[in-house]
Structure 1
Amino acid sequence: MKKIEGSPKNLKQLLQNTKYSIHYYQREYMWQRKHIEELIDDLTTEFLESYKEGDERQDVQDYGAYFMGSIVLAGRENAIIDGQQRFSTLTLLLIYLNNRIKNMGKSYRLIEEMIYSESYGKESFNIDVDDRQDCMRAIFHNEPYDITDANESVKNLYGRFNDIKEIFPEDSITDDMLLHFCDWLANKVFFIEIVATTEQDAHKVFVTMNDRGLSLTSTEMLKGYLLSEIKNDKKREELNNIWKDKILQLRKDNDDGDETFIKSWLRSQYAESIRESKAGAVNKDFDIIGGPFHKWVRDERSKIGLNTSEDFELFIKKFDKYSDVYLKIKRAEKTFFKNTQYVYYNAKVDFTLQSQVLLAPICYDDDWNTVGEKMNLTARFIDLYILSRFTYHKRLGYNYIKNYIFRLTKDIRQCSIDELKEKLNEYYIGLSFDPAHALPGLHLTSSTRRYIKHMLARITSFIEEETGVASNYVHYMDTNTKNPFEIEHIISDHYEWFTKEYDNQDEFKYYRNNIGALLLLHKSINASLNDSKYPKKLKKYCSNEGNIYSESLGEQAYKNNPKFIRFMNKHELSFKPYDTFGKDEIMERNDLLVQLVNLVWNPDMFRE
């Protein structure tokens, strides 16, 4: 192997006006929402530890630094051998920050130069991958992009950018400190740049980094510490085998599944404190567990009851029990089962803190029936919490909800079923959620899109179940089919057709995007109706290509349909057909949705 050079470089030095390609043996861009949450939490926490109100931008040069690991390059082509996941994600973050700066009426040339360069009027992104260009261009210009037929990397890039928009804590990194944060990100976030001069050396570095010499993980360090405190050799070997078997199960579908579980478990059962959301605050239990958790267990051994050899034995037995519960949660998140439906619903809208909350009320001695009932009750509350947040246009990003979820976790920790119902009912009352007040103001935006689709899918599938048709919720939410369901606007996007009814274009858009003017249709039908007026759309809604909720707009749904009529009368629902569809009809449809939401998201199970 020829000379390998390594040097520390900040993000500005690496990205400003520098082009990179992705090497041919690199995998697709695979980061998921949880990785975005962890990165943004780490970066913003590190920045806020240094930032003080009143700081000038030049004060940032004295702030603490953040180390992102290594970036390995093949020097001749500047091809990324290792680090493209982090580089791609940081580019998405820079685009988000750049868009936010532009919305403030300002510009920051350095940030733009770290994202792309322009030659002869053509944009070229610094991470230069041909099949990503159209998507990246849409993201950069804050425009919608159709990912239906896109490859895995493009789908993930688009999804993670939308996650960043939702997750980034705008109430913590406010507009008056945003440029400080950008300065810090550019100058104080470091990589070790490792450059191999030949293709062969680059591949050797890649193989070495991925196949050999890996340092112990936090999970392995925790296991070593726990087992070392067990005096009985036979018992230590027995528990070591239990630990190894469980780790294999946790890693079966996710390489870091073991660490994700342990963080959720420790937070759910033992964390007593969390970092305050203000500059200068220090990390507490919840935050430290999100990092090298083996150190936290060792440092807090007395607090969590690890004093004798028998305590350490019991701790590993608890690890075994709670990991089984966690695996049950993960199965329920991936596959729809009626008895764990709420766990599935919450996962479909990417509620990543679900495992922590569901583990909280579980006791080590609970039988599996009790575990299942506690899971169902808690997941049902999360479902209501999500509804209450997005209907009032409140963000559900990690940084916006983690303190509330932490308080909930502590309050329901190891509750009996009766105690759990009482606590969850108190929390529900505390939400002050009123569909009649929330829904009239609910309209489609980039941040509410996934939740409105979820709501429409839940309501439509509920009506189907109540009228003797199999629920199609899973199908409605599946984006991997050739012809997925999409949100359909009942009113076409042609303001010029409706100038007599709407005073201006803003009012038109407000009503057009209201939840009462939306439903679900197959993508192909949705596209074919883009420029159609309501009478033509209604024919499609009432055909075999629609669903019971869309069909209810037409008269046919009320003829020779006894199950639907019985359902409507039983719940005194204000379904009715419409020959025309304008402001009044939208608000009537909105009133109907209030009735349906009260049925589908009924909180009475906490009071039984």
Structure 2
Amino acid sequence: MDISPDKQNIDAVFSNTLYHIDFYQRDYRWNDEPVLRLLDDIFYKFNEHYEENSSLPPSAEVIDAKYSWYYLNTYVTNKVDGKVFIVDGQQRLTTLSLILIKLLHLAKEHDSKAAKWLDSKISGQSGFETRFWMNHEAHRSTQQAIYDNELDNVDTSTGITSVNMVRNFQTISRWLEKDLVTKHKLETFIFYYLRRLVLINLTVEQTDVPMVFEVINDRGVRLKPYEILKGKLLGQIDKTVMASKNYNRLWEENIRAINAFDEDEADRFFRFYLKAKYANSRAEGQRFDGDYHRLIFSNEFDDKLSIAHNQAGVIQFLDDQFSYYIELYRKARDAYTNDEASAFTYNRVNDLDGALMLILSSCSLWEDVESEKLSLIPAELDRLFALLQIQGAYDSNAFQEMLFRISATIRDKGLDEIRPAFDHELISTLAKRRLTEVEEPFKYAFFKQTGIGLNTRFKRYFFARIDEFLARELNLNMKHSISDLVSKTGAKTGFHIEHILAHNEENMALFEGDEERFDMERNRLGGILLLKGKDNISSNNEAYSDKLKTYANTLYWNETLRADAYKSKLDMTQLKERFGLELEPIDHFGPDELEARQKLLFKIASIIWR
């Protein structure tokens, strides 16, 4: 590897080199904090010297003799086909160029002869064009507006780089205007800034850029793994090939699209993708939770991805796997966030994101049943989760292990193999937990006592699904969304568990005065409802006949206890006949009625998660 260090002052850095922003570099992301820190560092040293030498005229000789040099850090470049690309350091260099522009404006205001010198440090002749030495090609109009001091009409629509250029230039302007109030101090500072501020330029060969870039990133503020991965991948592609196929734009547009969900979404995508395609167990999957961008370039992955020191392999990866699966992930992630009509809603309210991995696992490149899998897999995940919960067999750690086994089973498989993979895990888990042979995924014997020990959030979800079923089959709109029923927990607007049997002597007598039995029975799903907070509070200790009044105009499942839910209701009659449901009003509520409601919920749950 050949690295050529070169100590340069700013006068030399910005002289006749047109700097292109390499694809390794992020947008210009510096905000006030690093800009102010840089200015503070520069002016601390300058003001210290200026206090001692303010009587001396501003000149190169005075500055070189009386002002010590100050190190501003290192920047890394590489040259390809005569073009100089910045591999590392564009944040600092861009900020230094903005300071130069502000110094130019101040020099013109003070009618300083330094203006022409400064102007040559900002831009110069490149071929037939005048170009900014810091060549932010996509944001040239913003640079020009800053240079022309026309910030009122500057267009920052080209992206965050433009926005930050304008904001940071305004920060720089306020600082310099406050500190450089006289022509003498301004001109002295210009000499100091251009002659005594020093950077080290490291020039590296193109083949060494990915490695150097990653090592540089290990110090200071780290880049995110996907940003390093970009450099390690695109750094292997010949720049002519990359420009002709525009791989930088392919990468940036796709990453930007999924990072719109969350700033770390790109890393979530790569981790889900790698787990989906290359992990058969949770332990294997956990390896990708760390520095996956290093792991996939190891010898172990050479025969799987073939992207280490392999331009053809990288190109194939970008053209195929990356292009297809990141777009598939975007569709799934968008549905998870926004699609209230799909099973992704059920996953979201239960904080289940496993479908994102399972979809990536199941789908093969450009397959024609992708949309069916996008619908089926989140529904199957919900079914697995719900049936484990309501049969007392859910364990969060075991559930995560299941997902990896399912992923391995359905990887690149057809639609008809998805349900059997889920059912296999469901049935085998029930058998282990119940210590008996199990042949079907949902049994009343396992559901009979459900409610006791079931977490409150899932109880809200369960009754939300019951109400959704009733609303759909009765041709009604839901009174509250699934999300609200599950997530709202406020004292007045939230939904809370209501015991149909109040805790009093009269109701306890229905269970022969056995308080332990009474508490167990009234906590079964057949003995509870969902009510809004204020209704729940007001009805907590009422007799059942009074509670019935409270249940009017609440959720549909609550209203099925009341006679007026059935009077002249053709849709209700058809619902009962269509599914064989023994729905009927209940005037008296005791052990038999509670058992009947439990069986009725089992029947409806069997239909929902059939």
TM-score normalized with structure 1 length? 0.58
* Alpha-carbon distance between aligned partners in 1 of 2:325 and 2:344, rounded to the nearest angstrom: 17
Q: CA RMSD in A?
A: 2.4
The match for 1:400 is: 398
2:486 to 461, 477, 486: 477
Residue 468 of structure 1 aligns to a residue whose secondary structure is coil
Q: Judging changes above 3 Å, is the alpha-carbon distance between structure 1 residues 359 and 487 closer, same or farther for their aligned structure 2 residues?
A: farther
1:225 deviates by 1.5
The match for 1:493 is: 503
1:456 to 438, 452, 463: 463
The match for 1:524 is: 534
Q: Judging changes above 3 Å, is the alpha-carbon distance between structure 1 residues 570 and 547 closer, same or farther for their aligned structure 2 residues?
A: same
Q: Judging changes above 3 Å, is the alpha-carbon distance between structure 1 residues 231 and 396 closer, same or farther for their aligned structure 2 residues?
A: farther
The match for 1:554 is: 562
Structure 1, residues 325-349: CA drift from partner, whole Å, max 9, x if none?
22222222223443xx212101211
Letter in 1 for 2:405: R
Q: Judging changes above 3 Å, is the alpha-carbon distance between structure 1 residues 601 and 272 closer, same or farther for their aligned structure 2 residues?
A: closer
Structure 1, residues 316-365: CA drift from partner, whole Å, max 9, x if none?
23223222222222222223443xx2121012111132311222111121
* Partners of 2:489 and 2:495 within 8 A in 1: no
The match for 1:514 is: 524
Letter in 2 for 1:410: A
* Alpha-carbon distance between aligned partners in 2 of 1:523 and 1:273, rounded to the nearest angstrom: 43
* Alpha-carbon distance between aligned partners in 2 of 1:329 and 1:437, rounded to the nearest angstrom: 36
* % identity of equivalent residues: 24
Give the gaps of 5 or more residues in structure 1.
1-211, 276-284, 603-608
Letter in 2 for 1:464: A
Residue 596 of structure 2 aligns to a residue whose secondary structure is helix
1:319 to 314, 319, 322: 322
Letter in 1 for 2:466: I
The match for 2:381 is: 382
The match for 2:409 is: 411
The match for 2:587 is: 579
* Partners of 2:525 and 2:598 within 8 A in 1: yes
Q: Judging changes above 3 Å, is the alpha-carbon distance between structure 1 residues 441 and 396 closer, same or farther for their aligned structure 2 residues?
A: same
The match for 1:235 is: 242
Q: Judging changes above 3 Å, is the alpha-carbon distance between structure 1 residues 295 and 553 closer, same or farther for their aligned structure 2 residues?
A: same
The match for 2:110 is: none
* Alpha-carbon distance between aligned partners in 1 of 2:365 and 2:370, rounded to the nearest angstrom: 10
* Alpha-carbon distance between aligned partners in 2 of 1:497 and 1:415, rounded to the nearest angstrom: 55
* Partners of 1:489 and 1:517 within 8 A in 2: yes
Structure 1, residues 246-305: CA drift from partner, whole Å, max 9, x if none?
222222231211111111111011224543xxxxxxxxx311101111111111332423
Letter in 1 for 2:517: E
Letter in 1 for 2:400: K
The match for 2:335 is: 332
* Partners of 2:347 and 2:381 within 8 A in 1: yes
1:429 deviates by 5.2
* Alpha-carbon distance between aligned partners in 2 of 1:219 and 1:336, rounded to the nearest angstrom: 27
Letter in 2 for 1:224: G
* Partners of 2:225 and 2:267 within 8 A in 1: yes
* Alpha-carbon distance between aligned partners in 1 of 2:464 and 2:510, rounded to the nearest angstrom: 33
1:270 to 272, 275, 278: 278
Question: Comparing 302-311 with 551-560, which one deviates more in the overlay?
Answer: 302-311
* Partners of 1:552 and 1:576 within 8 A in 2: yes
Residue 434 of structure 1 aligns to a residue whose secondary structure is coil
Residue 498 of structure 1 aligns to a residue whose secondary structure is helix
* Partners of 1:218 and 1:292 within 8 A in 2: yes
- Greater Rg by CA: 2
* Partners of 1:444 and 1:452 within 8 A in 2: no
* Alpha-carbon distance between aligned partners in 2 of 1:330 and 1:502, rounded to the nearest angstrom: 53
The match for 1:353 is: 354
Letter in 1 for 2:314: F
Structure 1, residues 420-455: CA drift from partner, whole Å, max 9, x if none?
35544555554642241222121143x521112111
Letter in 2 for 1:559: K
1:309 equivalent to 2:311? Answer yes
1:498 deviates by 1.6
Q: Judging changes above 3 Å, is the alpha-carbon distance between structure 1 residues 535 and 496 closer, same or farther for their aligned structure 2 residues?
A: closer
* Partners of 2:355 and 2:377 within 8 A in 1: no
* Partners of 2:258 and 2:266 within 8 A in 1: yes
Question: Comparing 563-572 with 416-425, which one deviates more in the overlay?
Answer: 416-425
* Partners of 1:558 and 1:564 within 8 A in 2: yes
* Alpha-carbon distance between aligned partners in 2 of 1:458 and 1:359, rounded to the nearest angstrom: 27
Letter in 2 for 1:322: Y
Q: Judging changes above 3 Å, is the alpha-carbon distance between structure 1 residues 480 and 214 closer, same or farther for their aligned structure 2 residues?
A: farther
Structure 1, residues 489-527: CA drift from partner, whole Å, max 9, x if none?
211233675245244322121111101111222222111
1:244 equivalent to 2:242? Answer no
* Alpha-carbon distance between aligned partners in 2 of 1:247 and 1:357, rounded to the nearest angstrom: 21
1:473 deviates by 4.0
> Where do 1:94-173 residues align within 5 Å?
none
Q: Judging changes above 3 Å, is the alpha-carbon distance between structure 1 residues 480 and 540 closer, same or farther for their aligned structure 2 residues?
A: closer
Letter in 2 for 1:583: P
Q: Which has the higher contact order (CA 8 A, sep 6+)?
A: 1
* Alpha-carbon distance between aligned partners in 2 of 1:467 and 1:313, rounded to the nearest angstrom: 55
* Alpha-carbon distance between aligned partners in 2 of 1:530 and 1:516, rounded to the nearest angstrom: 17
Give the gaps of 5 or more residues in structure 2.
1-218, 430-439
Q: Judging changes above 3 Å, is the alpha-carbon distance between structure 1 residues 372 and 486 closer, same or farther for their aligned structure 2 residues?
A: farther
* Partners of 2:499 and 2:527 within 8 A in 1: yes
